Structure 1
Amino acid sequence: METAHFGNYNVNTYTDLNDDDDVYDDDDIEPTTYNQPPVPQPQGYPAAPRYNPINQYESADEYDQEEDEEEETLEENPLAAVHQLATKKVGIQLYNNNLVLDCPVATNLSKASQFETPETSYMRYAAVTSTEPANYRHDGFDLRQNIYSDPRSTQLFIVITIYNEDDILLARTLKGVFKNIYNLRKSKDPKWGSESWQRVVVSIVADGRANVHPRVLGLMSSLGCYQEGVAFNTVGDKEVTAHVYEYTTNIGIGKVSDGVVELIDPSDKDTRDKSPKICPVQLLFCIKEKNAKKINSHRWFFEAFAPLLNPFVCILLDAGTKPDEHALYNLWLEFDRHDDVAGACGEIQADVGRWGKRLLNPLVATQNFEYKISNVLDKPLESAFGFISVLPGAFSAYRYTALLPSRYGNFFEDPESGEKTVLGPLDKYFKGEEVHKSNTGIFEQNMYLAEDRILCFALVAKPGCRWKLRYVSAATAVTDVPSELHDLIGQRRRWLNGSFFAALYALTHAFEIWHTNHSLIHKIMFHVEFIYQFFNLLFSWFSIANFFLVFYIISKSMGETFDAGKILSVILEWIYVACLMVCFIFSLGGNKPKTTNKAYVTIVVFFAILMIYLSVGVIYLSVKNIESITSIKFVDFFKNNILRSLVISLASTYIMYVVASLLFLQVGHLFTSFFQYMLLSPSYINVLNVYAFCNIHDLSWGTKGDNGPKQDLQKLSKGKDEDQSKKFAINVATDQSAIDEAYLRMHKLIENPLVEEVKKVDEKELAMSKFALIRSSFVMLWIVSNFALIAVVIQAGGVERLDGADDDDDDTATRISSIYLQVVLYSVAVLSFIRFVGAFWFVIGRIAFSAIHR
C-alpha cells in the first residue's frame, strides 16, 4: 500500500491545553485527539479479523438467548425481517462490551471485488449504544480504517445526509463521488495515485430509521453496505441509538434516470467494458434510530466518526447534489495549497435536466439564474475579502483541524463536575441543536436555522487564528431545486429567516475579529465587508417599500401621459395592495403554502404582469423624455433626476450581470433564464419575504422528531454479570445461499422504476406557538416601518414626472422624493459596482496564482 503525507498534520499528535506559551502560530495544526490520550491501534487486520466472522460458528443453542418476539414483514420494516431469511443461532463475543459483527457478503459482491480481503468479503455492523455521538470513541467503538495491520490515513471524509429521499437522489450523489475517487487514482498529482481510494471514506447518515426509504436500503444492500435483518434494538440494558455498516464496495453506479439506478458489476465483462471507471470505495452507512434533524446527522459525522479517522478535509453533501468528476479534488487542492484556508465551497448549479428541459419551468429557470449570479458576483466578492457568509451545507468542505478548539478558545465549566471543556467552532455550530430544544429567545432560534453561517463566522473569528474562507469556481456540483411554488416558499422561509438573523449576529459580533491573528489590513477589510453586508441587510428590510415606490412613481407618470394610463394606474395600485394584503393574511393566518398554492400562483402571475408593465413603462417614459429634449445635447436626457437615477440603477445592475458572466465565461443563463428571473423578481420581494418574516415563529425544518426507538428488531440479552468473555446467541444468516437470496431480494427493490407517491395535504391547523406575540410584534414593526417610509415619501414629497414634462407640485416636496429615490437608486448602483469589483479581483487573483504556480 502506498504511503502519502498531506499537509502539516500528524495523526498521532495531540495538544496540551495547559501550554502557557504566549506565542501562538495559527499555522500549527490542532489535532483530532485534542485533550484525549491516543487510542492504541490493534494489529492483525485484515490478515486476521478483529471480530470473528459469524459464519465460523455452528449451532449456538447452548448460549444465552432471549425469547424470540414476533417480527414484522419486509414490507413493514426491512430492518426487522430476519424471519424471512434462513437464519440460525450463532454465538458471538462482545468487544469492549459492544455488539460488533463481521457478516459475510453475497457471492455477487465477492466476485465483483478486485482483491480478496476481509474488507470486501465481510460487511461490518456495529449496534451503537452511545447516548451521544461524542461518546462513540470513548464507548469503545472504532472504524475499520483504524484496525488494519497498517492503519489508513484519511484525506477526504465525505458525508451525505439523507432523510426520506429515494434511491435516485442518493445514487446521483454517489455516482458523482465514485467518479471523483476513480479520477483521484488516475491523478497526476504525486500526492495521489493508484491507492488513493484508501484515503477516501464516504459516509451516508440517515436521519431516523423509520424514515429511510426502502429503495435506499435496496441500493445500499446492492452496494454491500447493508444487510437485511442485521440490526438490534438493545444490547443488554442499553438501547441502540444508531446502526453503523461498513464495507468496501467494488460495485459501480451507471445510468441514473427514468426512476431506475443501473449498477455496474466489474466482474461482468459487458458492463465493465461499457463503464470502466470503477474502483474500490470505502463506505460507511449510519442509520440513526431517531429523527433528530440534519444538524444531528452532522454531529455523528464530526463528533463520532471524524475523531477516529482524523481527516485532512471534510466534505459535506446533500442527497441529490452531484459533484463534478473533479470537484472534490479541486476543493482539496485549495486546502493543500493554502495553509490558512479553513473552509471552501464550489459552484452549485441548478439541475436543469437533459438539454435544459427543466428550464421550461419558470421557477427552475429563475433559480438557475439566481444561482449563476451568486456564483459570478456574490461568492467571488466575499472570497476576495476572505469571509464567505455561508458555505452551503449541500456542497462545502472544511479543514478538520480548523473546526477544533484552539488554546485561546472559550472554556465551558460543568456546574456539577467542575470539568472544563474548551469550546471551538463546532460547539457554536452544534449549539443550534440544543437551542431548538430549549427556551431560548426567538432571535437565537431563527439564527440557528442557518447554523452554517454561524460556523463560517466562528471560523473567521476563531481566537488566536487567521483562518479564511474561499470560493473555488473550478469545483462544481449540480443540485435539485424546488419546482413547485409551495416548496420554494417553504425553503426560502428557512433561508431568509436564518440568513437575516445570522447576518445580524455577525454584525453585532464583528469586533471579535480583533481577537484573531489576522493582519491589520485583513481585519480592516473584514469590517469593510461587514459594512457592505449591513447595507444589503438594510435594503432587504425596506425592499417592499422601495419596490412599491418605484412602481408608484412609474405608474403615476404613465397615468399623466395618456388618458387610459390614469385608469390603469389606479387598477394596478389596488390589485397590488390587495395581493400584498392577501400574502400577509395567508402568512399570518398559519396557512401552509401547499394548502393555498393556487392563490399564491395567482399572485405571482400578477406580479409577473406588473413587472412587464414596469419594464415597458421605463422604456416608454425614456422615449418621451428624449422627445421633450429641445437641444441635441445628450446630457439633456439626464436632466430628470429620478429617471436618470432609475436608468443608472437598472443599467448598473443588469450590465454587471452581463459583464460578470462574460468574465467567468458563463453566458448561457443570460439567454435561457434572465427573462424568467426578471418576471419573478417582484415575487421574491413581495411573496417570499412576506411569508418568511410573518413566520419567524416557525422554527421547523419540515421534519418531526421521533419519540423513541421502535422495539421491532432483535434484542441481545447479556445477563447481569455482562461478562465479555461469554458468548451470546443471535439470529443471523450464515449459509451463503441464504445471504445471496436476501441480497437479490433487496436488489429487486431498485430494479423497477420509482413511482412517486402523491402525498396527502395535512388539513390540520398549526398549533399556536409560544412566539406568536413576538412574531406579531416583529411583523408589525416591519410593516409599519415600510409603509411609514412610503407615506413619508409620497405624501411629503410628491412625485416627479418621468416623461420630461413640468410638474405643478411644490418644488420642495418634489425635491424630497427626488433626493430619496436618487439615494436609493444610486446606492443600488454602488453596491452592484462593488460586487463587480470583487468578482474582477477574484478572477485576476486566480489568474495570477495559476501563472506563479505553473
Structure 2
Amino acid sequence: MLGVDKEDSIFSKEKKKRCAYRKIPSMLNQLSKHKLDKAHNSFILALDGDVDFKPEAVQKLIDKMKKNSKVGAVCGRIHPIGSGPVVWYQQFEYAVGHWLQKASEHVFGCVLCCPGAFSLFRATALMDDNVLSMYITPPSEARHFIQFEQGEDRWLCTLMLQQGWKIDYAASADAKTFAPQTFQEFFVQRRRWAPSTLANIIDLLSSWRVTTKVNDNISTLFVLYQFILLSSSLLGIGTVTLMITGSFNAVLKITMFESFVVAVIPVVVYAFICMKCSNDRQILGAGLLSTVYTLVMVIVTVGLFVNLATEQSYSPNLIFVVEILFIFVFAGIAHPKELMCLVHGLLYYLMVPSTFIILTVYYICNIHIVSWGTREKKTEEDIIDETEPGKSTNSRTPILIRCLQNLGVLALMKEVRGFIQQLLGAKFEQQTDDNKTSSSNLPPMGATSVPRKETRSQEVRQNPDAWQSKEYFGLKGKGIIKEDEIEFWQELLPVYLIPINEDKQKKRKFKKN
C-alpha cells in the first residue's frame, strides 16, 4: 500500500469540491475531510509474484493518479518474458494489444481492464458503493463463475467503471512478467480469459445507459466502439474460415462449396473431440490441428498471390491482409523501442487459425470447467472432469491415438519436439523415465559397496530482519507498527483473506447448469 504526502495531495487543493466530483450518492460523502483525504491519497499496488519492474514505473503510475482525482486505477505496459514459440507469439500479441487496443481505449474513453500483474488502485475507488462489497460477493449462479472467478481483475474494473471511476493507462510504466511457455499452459490460460472478457464486456454494454450517465469517460460512441469490437471477435472464427475457404478455391481449383466443406470439417471434428475426450487429448488434438493449419496458412498465402497475379481487381482477402499488415507495421514503427516485436508477427500470422478457430472451440466446449487449472491443487473430482467426461480413462482409447502409439509416431513426435526445443534454446529434459529405470537396473561396479560418509549438517542461524541492515535499501531507521494497525490486520485477515471452503454439491450444480 502506498500513500502520498499531504503536501502533494491534489485533493487538498480541492477541499471545496470534495463532494462535487461524485454524481451519485456515495458512502464516501459521509466521511470526514481528514479520512476522505487520507483514503483518496492511499494507493494499493497489485502485482504478480514473478513480475519485475523499476521504481520509476511505480512513480509514473502515481503521477497519473495525482493528475486526475477521478482516476480509480492505472495500469502499466506488460512485457511477457520467457523462451519458445508460444512466448514469441504472446510478445507480439501483447505488443499489438497495447499499441492499438489499450491506446484506442485510452483516447476514445478509458481502459476497460487493469491487469493484476502490474496496476495501481485508489483506496476510495475500492471503498466506493457496489465496488468492493460486490466484488467479494460469492457467485450465486453458474454464469457468475465465468464473470467473477475466471478474471477477477476485469470484474473489479467493470465494477469501478459502472460506479463512475476512470481507468487510466501509463504506456511508459513498463513491467515484465513470465508468460506461459507451453501450448497446454497457454490454452488453459485463455480458457479462463476469453469467457471472462466476453462476460464482462456484455455486462458493461447491457448497462450502458446507466454507465454513460454516471461515468463521464464512457460515451455512447465509445459503447458503440466496444460493441463493434465484440461483434468482430464473435465473427472472427467465421471470418478466418471463409478466408481459408477462398484460398482453397484459388489454389486447389475446387468449387467454393467443396472448399467450404474442407475448411469446416476440421472444426467440426475438433468440436467433437472437445465434447467427448479428456483435456490432455483436447490439447493434443489442438496441437496436431495447429500444425496442419500452419501448412494451410502457407496455402492461404499462396492463394493470395495467385489472386493478385490472375485477377485484375484485388480480392477482398488480399485487401484485408494488406490493410492488417500496414496497420501492424505502422504501429511498430511508431514504437521504435519495441520494433523487434514485428519479427514475431510471422508466427502470429501462422497461428491465426489456431487462436481464432481452435482456441475458440476449445474454451466454448470447456466453459463448464470453473477451476483455474493453474492455481489450485486438483481434487479427484477435477481430475475426473479433465480426464474423460462420463467415461473411464483406461477404456475406449481413441483408435487414432492407439494407432499412433503402436506405430511409434508419438514417440517420434516427442523426439522431434525435443530437438526443436534445443534449437530454439528452450530447456529440454534429456533424462526420461525410461532412462531412470534403466540406470536403476545397472549392475554394481564392484563386489563391495562403498560406505557413504556421513556429513554433519551445520546449524544455520536465521535472521529474518537481516535485509533491513542492507545499505541499498536506504532504510534510516526501524519503524514501529501502531497497535490499531495490528488490530486492523488481525481482524481483516480471518474475514477476507482466509480461503473459502468450497461447497462441492453447489459446485457440481453450477457445472451442470
The alignment's TM-score, normalised by the length of structure 2, stands at 0.66
Q: Contact 1:403 / 1:424 at 8 angstroms: preserved in 2?
A: no
* 1:583 and 2:270 are equivalent in the alignment: yes
Paired residue for 1:516? Answer: 214
CA distance in 2, matches of 1:661, 1:691: 31
CA distance in 1, matches of 2:465, 2:275: 46
Choose which of 135, 144, 148 in structure 2 pairs with 1:444: 144
**Which amino acid in 2 is paired with 1:341?**
V
Paired residue for 1:427? Answer: 133
**Which amino acid in 1 is paired with 2:161?**
V
Choose which of 454, 457, 461 in structure 1 pairs with 2:158: 457
CA distance in 2, matches of 1:337, 1:23: 18
CA distance in 2, matches of 1:401, 1:586: 48
Deviations 1:651-683 (A, max 9, x none): 221211111222232453454301111111110
The structural deviation recorded for 1:517 is 6.2
Q: Contact 1:315 / 1:395 at 8 angstroms: preserved in 2?
A: yes
Q: Contact 1:321 / 1:395 at 8 angstroms: preserved in 2?
A: yes
Question: Aligned residue pairs: how many?
Answer: 386
* 1:743 and 2:462 are equivalent in the alignment: yes
Paired residue for 2:9? Answer: 7
Give secondary structure in 2 for the equivalent of 1:392: coil
Q: Contact 1:26 / 1:517 at 8 angstroms: preserved in 2?
A: no
Paired residue for 1:370? Answer: 93
* 1:383 and 2:118 are equivalent in the alignment: no
The structural deviation recorded for 1:691 is 1.0
Paired residue for 2:390? Answer: none
* 1:332 and 2:62 are equivalent in the alignment: yes
**Which amino acid in 2 is paired with 1:469?**
I
The structural deviation recorded for 1:527 is 2.0
Matches within 5 A, 1:95-494: 312-352=42-82, 358=83, 361-405=84-128, 423-431=129-137, 434-435=138-139, 438=140, 440=141, 442-448=142-148, 449-462=150-163, 465=164, 467-494=165-192
CA distance in 2, matches of 1:347, 1:657: 18
Task: Using CA pairs under 8 Å that are at least 6 residues apart, name the structure with larger relative contact order, 1 or 2.
Answer: 1
The structural deviation recorded for 1:704 is 4.0
Paired residue for 1:529? Answer: 222
Deviations 1:500-540 (A, max 9, x none): 1111101101111244262xxx55xx221221221222222
Q: Contact 2:53 / 2:176 at 8 angstroms: preserved in 1?
A: yes
Q: Contact 1:327 / 1:475 at 8 angstroms: preserved in 2?
A: yes
**Which amino acid in 2 is paired with 1:383?**
H
Deviations 1:73-109 (A, max 9, x none): xxxxxxxxxxxxxxxxxxxxxxxxxxxxxxxxxxxxx
Q: Contact 2:113 / 2:167 at 8 angstroms: preserved in 1?
A: no
Choose which of 224, 248, 252 in structure 2 pairs with 1:559: 252
**Which amino acid in 2 is paired with 1:369?**
F
CA distance in 2, matches of 1:349, 1:459: 25
Deviations 1:283-320 (A, max 9, x none): xxxxxxxxxxxxxxxxxxxxxxxx8xx86222111111
Unaligned runs of 5+ in 1: 14-20, 40-153, 156-306, 353-357, 406-422, 561-565, 627-636, 708-739, 748-766, 775-854
Give secondary structure in 2 for the equivalent of 1:342: strand
Give secondary structure in 1 for the equivalent of 2:336: coil
CA distance in 2, matches of 1:403, 1:372: 29
CA distance in 1, matches of 2:203, 2:284: 36
Over 3 Å counting, the alpha-carbon distance change for 1:468 and 1:363 in structure 2 is: same
**Which amino acid in 1 is paired with 2:144?**
E
Over 3 Å counting, the alpha-carbon distance change for 1:557 and 1:394 in structure 2 is: same
* 1:605 and 2:291 are equivalent in the alignment: yes
Deviations 1:456-515 (A, max 9, x none): 2332332xx5x3221111101111111111111100010001001111101101111244
The structural deviation recorded for 1:34 is 6.8
The structural deviation recorded for 1:386 is 3.1
The structural deviation recorded for 1:574 is 6.6
CA distance in 1, matches of 2:508, 2:90: 31
**Which amino acid in 2 is paired with 1:580?**
V
Q: Contact 1:558 / 1:569 at 8 angstroms: preserved in 2?
A: no
Structure ID, larger Rg: 1
CA distance in 2, matches of 1:676, 1:490: 20
CA distance in 1, matches of 2:372, 2:288: 26
CA distance in 2, matches of 1:393, 1:470: 14
Q: Contact 2:73 / 2:168 at 8 angstroms: preserved in 1?
A: yes
Choose which of 196, 218, 240 in structure 2 pairs with 1:498: 196
Deviations 1:353-410 (A, max 9, x none): xxxxx2xx221111100000011100010011232121111111112222222xxxxx
The structural deviation recorded for 1:746 is 13
Over 3 Å counting, the alpha-carbon distance change for 1:530 and 1:600 in structure 2 is: same
Name the % identity.
21
Q: Contact 2:91 / 2:341 at 8 angstroms: preserved in 1?
A: no
Unaligned runs of 5+ in 2: 380-458, 467-505
Over 3 Å counting, the alpha-carbon distance change for 1:590 and 1:451 in structure 2 is: farther
CA distance in 2, matches of 1:328, 1:746: 25
Q: Contact 1:344 / 1:398 at 8 angstroms: preserved in 2?
A: yes
**Which amino acid in 2 is paired with 1:6?**
D
CA distance in 1, matches of 2:61, 2:227: 30
Over 3 Å counting, the alpha-carbon distance change for 1:619 and 1:3 in structure 2 is: closer
CA distance in 2, matches of 1:331, 1:510: 28
The structural deviation recorded for 1:428 is 2.8
Over 3 Å counting, the alpha-carbon distance change for 1:366 and 1:457 in structure 2 is: same
* 1:25 and 2:21 are equivalent in the alignment: yes
More strand by share: 1
Q: Contact 1:558 / 1:621 at 8 angstroms: preserved in 2?
A: no
Choose which of 350, 358, 372 in structure 2 pairs with 1:679: 350
Give secondary structure in 2 for the equivalent of 1:743: coil
Deviations 1:185-220 (A, max 9, x none): xxxxxxxxxxxxxxxxxxxxxxxxxxxxxxxxxxxx
Q: Contact 1:372 / 1:669 at 8 angstroms: preserved in 2?
A: no
Give secondary structure in 1 for the equivalent of 2:114: coil
Backbone CA RMSD of aligned residues: 3.9
Over 3 Å counting, the alpha-carbon distance change for 1:607 and 1:324 in structure 2 is: farther
Q: Contact 1:27 / 1:340 at 8 angstroms: preserved in 2?
A: no
Deviations 1:29-56 (A, max 9, x none): x9989769999xxxxxxxxxxxxxxxxx
